[in-house]
Structure 1
Amino acid sequence: MSDEITELKEEIDPVRSKIMASVAQRGTKPEMFVRRLCHALGYRYRLHVKALPGSPDLVFPCRKKVIFVHGCFWHRHPGCSRTTTPKTRTPFWKAKFDENVRRDARQLTELTTLGWESCIVWECETRNPIILRQKLSDYLEMSGPVHE
């Protein structure tokens, strides 16, 4: 965590901290939706492989492909209406979001360096199962990264 976030974190309300800590990181509704779609397409995968940068949500070892299921709010989906910034403690949130985006970019670069292809599925994409099914099918069949 960056020093800027650490400094700003000292002001956190304990109640707010407890609420934020309860936000699920794994097994979220969007992630479960993507997992079910991949399974229905006939693909089998590993979950959250810690040996890989970023511990991707779905890992397809034989294909050397991974899928990250990102929340639009936390990972700052460009142009998405869910990418809002809270009105209170804005400097803290800006630093937090900036660090998340930097970490995500670093992890994608590390995966590419290791020879893995990656795909990001945004939370808002799970609202249209037909388009998402096609995106996943295309990604898992083709070569080359699909980041958007």
Structure 2
Amino acid sequence: MTKLPTSRHLLHSPPEAVADIVVLDYDARLMRRRRLVGRGGLEFLVDLAEVTNLDDHWGFALDDGRAVGVEAAPENLVEVRGDLTRLAWHIGNRHTPCEILTDHLRVRHDHVIEAMLVQLGAEVRRVTGPFHPEGGAYGKGRTMGHDHGPHDHHA
């Protein structure tokens, strides 16, 4: 069995040379340890210290000195237009990742969310493309669950 090159460190900007590119959807861009295969066939192991949102990084630094970039895979999305403030509130209230653009929102295709948006008066259109939703609190990370921190609701 051949030992795969390993990445324990992430790159914040593109290096001079790139060995390969991995194409990952939104869910796959959150990882700690995984075997990946680049578009050009390069296989490597990711072994990070903690679960990391790859959207905050350019790519992987392999232990053999090579670099592998990360590209967002095309996904089935819904483009949302209308009263964006109100619609964004309803999307966020359901803890649904949402990409916020100047004149529209994008969410991953979900028939229940799409039906809710239509009922709220949104114009929706199905599109395919990379998905880069807004980060979690303070613009970093991802929204996960409904924990609002270490406070007591009964105090």
Shorter-normalised TM range: under 0.3
- Richer in helix (by share): 1
TM-score by length of 1: 0.23
Over alpha carbons, which structure has the higher Rg?
A: 2
- Richer in strand (by share): 2
